[in-house]
Amino acid sequence: MALWGTIVNALAIIAGGLLGLFLQGMRDRIRQTVMQGIGLALLALGISMTLKSSDFLLIVSSLVLGGLIGELLKVEQGLERLGKLLERGVNAVVPGMKQGGIAAGFVSTTLLYCVGAMAVLGAMDGGLRGNHDILYTKAMLDGFTAIIFASTLGIGVLFSSVPVFLYQGAIALAASLIAALIDQVMLTEMLTQITAVGGVLIMGLGLNVLDIRRIHVANLLPSILIAAAAVPLLNWISG
């Protein structure tokens, strides 16, 4: 079943988020320290992913073009509006819920869970071979981070399971078509560049979590598509 790993991943986020809601009473100092640890880990993960590619010019070009497209499409504003809609819906059911928390939790964790290379590689592996080991590992990691984020950012973290399911599910279902159209060598190179650019975005998330500087990571998401499309384009030009 191509979607099984994605289903497990989404359920892990929900389970971790629910557990995190019960831990909201932990002291602010503990939560702050744990969040700082997560932020530093995201920076380290992003650096390791980015170093997988030696084509620095392609990474920079993808980020520049992707950032321009993201700003024109207002990707981050769209995600924030969706988060606000969720917030109003929850507040209608549960009056007195903290304002702003749902949108922040939804946007932050949606980006974190979708940007990483494991989301793309795991979904593709599940779609191509029915192998869900990568997504099982990602589900465990996402579940643990959902505990921490939900204890800090609240119920919005649980809603991020929906875009995760849709995003990874779409990749898994399209994987067989992609494999039929692209040879294995080019597909491997595309995944390398996707991983590298995704690593830069994860570093941006790390800076946001550490509250060092506000990075509009969502508006940089199109850069992943630019990086993927650049590989066959450059191959065609050089050929």
| Lowest-confidence region among 19-33, 124-138, 145-159, 185-199 | 19-33
Q: Residue 233 CA to chain centroid, in angstroms?
A: 25
State the pLDDT at residue 198.
82
Q: What is the pTM of this model?
A: 0.75
The size of the chain, in residues, is 239
Is residue 99 pLDDT above 60, yes or no? no
Under the banding of pLDDT at 50, 70 and 90, the label for residue 58 is very high
State the pLDDT at residue 131.
79
Is residue 96 pLDDT above 70, yes or no? no
State the pLDDT at residue 116.
63
Compute the distance between CA of residue 119 and CA of residue 134 in angstroms, rounded to an integer. Answer: 8
Compute the distance between CA of residue 206 and CA of residue 43 in angstroms, rounded to an integer. Answer: 5
Mean pLDDT value of segment 150-171? 87
State the pLDDT at residue 169.
93
| Lowest-confidence region among 20-34, 121-135, 160-174, 200-214 | 20-34
Tens-place pLDDT, residues 118-156 = 787 788 778 877 778 878 888 988 888 888 888 877 888
Compute the distance between CA of residue 207 and CA of residue 28 in angstroms, rounded to an integer. Answer: 20
State the pLDDT at residue 83.
67
From 54, 33, 21, 80, select the one nearest 219 (Cα to Cα): 80
Q: How many other CB atoms sit within 10 Å of the CB of residue 48?
A: 12
Residue range(s) defining the domain that contains residue 87: 4-238
Count of domains for the chain: 1
Query: Which tokens go with 178?
Result: 């992609």
CA distances from 45 to 51, 54, 98, 104 (A): 10, 17, 31, 22
